[in-house]
Structure 1
């Protein structure tokens, strides 16, 4: 298995080459021995100068033919990209645009870096790479570079120390990359939602059943939103805690929630949506009766890149205990409990 590792930064003073060295070291530790490092500063492609579109594969220039052969010979591609002004570097986009078919169907891994992991660069570049047909790893890796990691010359004092917190994440990504080579995957294949995103929803349910308002609020980001079944809306972590301190001491004091169904979808490398079908017992109604209820909890979860923790950023709980109507799609409806 041959892996092409592309260093996306071409600046005279940069950290991309230092990070590439560490990423390659970890790749080899993960068993990827045949690694070709393409430093775009050395590849030195001019601003796209082919008269024909890349999709035609009619290349008139020798530098294009050489770049095409290099990419074409790889079984998988790793791109290492900085973030400049909320985006990816022009030189990297230029190198991608020279080719088209050469990218298609290859497993790919995107590693971004920046003060907050280069998330904007990652998400924008991921769209480009998926369009040209790279079968991109759904998670990727985002390297956070602390300000005090830089020397007075603008390079990293110790790149190994900077990358070490992400070593396990990188190893796991390289294992996925190796598994993807030869697999029947396409750029449009569905991708699994990370376990951390699923666990963020589980923390909400666990805290609910423990009647713990602090733990419930802690599952949310500091500026997370939540709307309960009575349409009470909390717009901060503190408000979510206050809302549930009242609820767990009152109408939900005997309530217990059971998840009966789950649906999830990855929206980007750092965002996912979860839907949890639930039934509950012990919920005190306005008339004092304790009833069994059912509903769906919809959550948007996001990965906090500096910490790596998935958190709920928005949630809405819906109670449809008394909802019963014909399904507009013609499916047999489930009668309410």
Structure 2
């Protein structure tokens, strides 16, 4: 899931690379979900999400999309040493739909490679009963790895970590299915 919604966002090549790696892995029926396309407004439901009494069509569509998924990879930048508001907002819309699903990250930014954003959002994921995995991909100074054609060129280590991440997701996904029944 691509979480940056900014105009002229620079990290979308990482979203595309992650999606290609998910499809190539073979353990998933991968779907690219881009929060910019989803277009969620700032949380606007009158009822608490735990009640699942959604009034807005955008929330009903979002609920169905997340409910149908078994695992997630959030491709996230770091804004001001934290998670982007678009990710927090998308998580806040729902409760039950997130529960008992594994999640990992491809994070990007400057010298910290987006890791502060990941660490900021993990307690929230635990509160939503998600299983944040340790296996992830970090891309420091990400702009240096994107060429003029907007293609991300990962390092060997990032390729290795992506494989490890998808292998871990493939192990956790069936293990958590029973908890959702």
TM-score, normalization: structure 2? 0.89
CA shift at 1:184, angstroms?
Answer: 5.1
Q: Corresponding residue for 1:144?
A: 140
The corresponding residue for 1:180 is: 172
Post-superposition offset of 1:77:
1.2
Tell me, in whole angstroms, the C-alpha distance in 2 between the residues paired with 1:169 and 1:176. Answer: 10
Are 1:31 and 2:26 an aligned pair? yes
Aligned residue for 2:152, secondary structure, equals: helix
More strand by share: 1
The structural deviation recorded for 1:145 is 2.5
After superposition, the Cα gap between the structure-2 partners of 1:146 and 1:23, relative to the gap in structure 1 and judged at 3 Å, is closer
Question: Structure 2 vs 1, CA of residues 185 and 36 (structure 1 numbering), >3 Å: closer, same or farther?
Answer: closer
Residues 184 and 64 of structure 1: CA distance in aligned 2, closer, same or farther (over 3 Å): closer
Q: Deviation digits for residues 160-192 of structure 1, max 9, x if unmatched? A: 314654011111110110111121599xxxxxx
Partner of 2:7: 12
Larger Rg: 1
Runs of 4+ in 1 over 6 A off after TM superposition: none
Q: Within 5 Å, give how 1:272-291 maps onto structure 2.
A: none
- Offset from partner CA, 1:43-90 (integer Å, 9 cap, x none): 000111100011111101111010000000011111111001101111
Whole-angstrom distance in 1 between the partners of 2:29 and 2:177: 22
Are 1:161 and 2:153 matched, yes or no? yes
Quickly say closer, same or farther: Cα 1:99–1:26, change in 2 above 3 A. same
Partner of 2:117: 121
Q: 1:60 aligns with which of 42, 51, 55?
A: 55
Mapping of residues 196-211 of structure 1, within 5 Å: none
Q: Distance in 2 between matches of 1:73 and 1:185?
A: 12
The CA RMSD over aligned residues, in Å, is 2.1
Q: Which has the higher helix share?
A: 2
Aligned length: 177
* Pairing 1:43–2:59 present: no
Q: How far apart are residue 143 of structure 1 and its match?
A: 1.5
Task: Between the two structures, name the one with larger relative contact order (CA 8 Å, sep ≥ 6).
Answer: 2
Q: Quote the Cα distance in structure 1 between the aligned partners of 2:21 and 2:154.
A: 13
**1:71 paired residue among 46, 55, 66:** 66
Q: Gaps (5+ residues) in structure 1?
A: 1-5, 187-337
Q: Return the TM-score normalized by structure 1.
A: 0.49
Q: Among 101, 107, 113, which residue is 2:96 paired with?
A: 101
Give the whole-Å Cα distance in 2 for the aligned partners of 1:158 and 1:99.
33
**What CA deviation, in whole Å up to 9, does each residue of 1:98-124 have, x standing for no partner?**
000100101111221111211211100
Task: Provide, for residues 282-319 of structure 1, a one-character-per-residue CA deviation record: whole Å limited to 9, x for no partner.
Answer: xxxxxxxxxxxxxxxxxxxxxxxxxxxxxxxxxxxxxx
Query: 1:106, 1:135 within 8 Å by CA — same for their partners in 2?
Result: yes
